[in-house]
């Protein structure tokens, strides 16, 4: 099915204006949702808004919007005032600078849109894409739509262009907020094994088709059983994995390397449980020569 455009705009590149059409690049997968029902009769429940002060149900025509400027203090806005607060939509995606793509961290990525050339913009559209490919640069632009101003990234993808919506800097929490150990030693031998493990898992390309939502598939399967009148039971949870005692052992086991331990046992992430003291005492008693009774 051919994609349907959601907007017609211009990409501003210097003094060049390129007419383009915007297409959604995402197809949202519907999540499994459950509705609240009345246990007594099975009817679906309706949501209502209740005023805690007057203890009465408030209908939509009696609702107004307000901004809390202080604790429990609101300034009210009517529909016309709310309309005046909205940012005017622009018809131009204005490129302000070009940067190396690897300098834009994926933390800033949000929604993605495809851009396709509109009538009369085919040559300029192709030119911008080829110029970014050869330079290794991507365009950072500003764009206003649906009452909000956005920062976006324009990048080539195959024969076309992608507009990547970005987060503002204040929308990304700094890594410094995460408590991290200050001094941790990484041994050369461990690093070597870790690199070997990564090399074993390298793929030349990323194929998202290899991955499916296994949780959704499992839930839908159980729901179908319920529809057919079957009972569903809680599956036993997996036992928690043992804590890694020796990092080198864990890396070797991951690589499939068999390490020779005392007694010829295979290398393992977890240690074997020590023999209990009573059992050891019994073995010693059996091995020791018995004294003759006087």
Domains and CATH numbers, the chain: 7-25+87-170 (2.40.290.10), 49-85 (no CATH)
pLDDT band at residue 198 under the 50/70/90 scheme:
confident
> Does position 127 have pLDDT exceeding 60, yes or no?
yes
**Closest to 89 (Cα-Cα) out of 141, 125, 142:** 142
Q: How far apart are CA 269 and CA 248, in angstroms?
A: 9
User: Do strands 92-100 and 148-157 pair parallel, antiparallel, or not at all (unpaired)?
Assistant: unpaired
CB contact at 8 A, 251 and 190 = yes
pLDDT for the residue 249: 78
pLDDT for the residue 209: 84
Token digits for 174? 């700094």
For the chain, give the percent of residues with pLDDT over 70. 82
Q: Which of 20-34, 164-178, 233-247 has the highest mean pLDDT?
A: 164-178
Beta strands in the chain (DSSP E): 7-13, 16-24, 49-51, 56-58, 65-70, 73-77, 92-100, 109-117, 137-145, 148-157, 160-166
- What is the crossing angle of helices 247-255 and 188-200, to 10°? 30
214 vs 267 pLDDT, higher one:
214
Q: 3-class SS at 194?
A: helix
pLDDT for the residue 267: 37
Q: What are phi and psi of 96, to 5 degrees?
A: -100, -25
pTM over 0.95: no
**Closest to 24 (Cα-Cα) out of 42, 38, 6, 44:** 6
């Amino acid at each position: 099915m051919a994609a349907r455009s959601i907007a017609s705009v211009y990409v501003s590149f210097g003094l060049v204006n390129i007419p383009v059409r915007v297409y959604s690049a995402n197809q949202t997968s519907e999540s499994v949702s459950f509705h609240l029902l009345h246990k007594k009769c099975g009817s679906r429940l309706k949501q209502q808004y209740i005023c805690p002060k007057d203890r009465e149900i408030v209908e939509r025509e009696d609702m107004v919007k307000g901004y809390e400027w202080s604790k429990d203090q609101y300034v009210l806005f009517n529909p016309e005032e709310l309309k005046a607060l909205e940012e005017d939509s622009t018809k131009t995606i204005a490129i302000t600078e070009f940067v190396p793509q690897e300098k834009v961290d994926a933390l800033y990525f949000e929604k993605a849109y495809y851009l396709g050339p509109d009538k009369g913009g085919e040559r300029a559209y192709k030119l911008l894409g080829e110029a970014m490919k050869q330079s290794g640069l991507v365009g950072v632009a500003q764009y206003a739509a649906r009452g909000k101003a956005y920062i976006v990234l324009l990048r080539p993808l195959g024969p076309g262009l992608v507009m990547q919506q970005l987060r503002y800097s204040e929308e990304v929490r700094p890594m410094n907020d995460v408590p991290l150990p200050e001094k941790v030693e990484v041994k050369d031998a461990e690093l070597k094994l870790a690199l070997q493990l990564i090399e074993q898992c390298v793929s030349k390309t990323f194929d998202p088709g290899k991955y499916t939502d296994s949780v959704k598939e499992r839930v839908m399967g159980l729901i179908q059983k319920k529809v057919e009148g079957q009972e569903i039971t809680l599956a036993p949870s997996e036992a928690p994995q043992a804590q890694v005692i020796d990092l080198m052992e864990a890396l070797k086991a991951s690589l499939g390397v068999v390490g020779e331990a005392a007694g010829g046992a295979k290398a393992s992430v977890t240690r074997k449980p020590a023999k209990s003291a009573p059992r050891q005492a019994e073995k010693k008693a059996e091995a020791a020569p018995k004294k003759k009774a006087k």
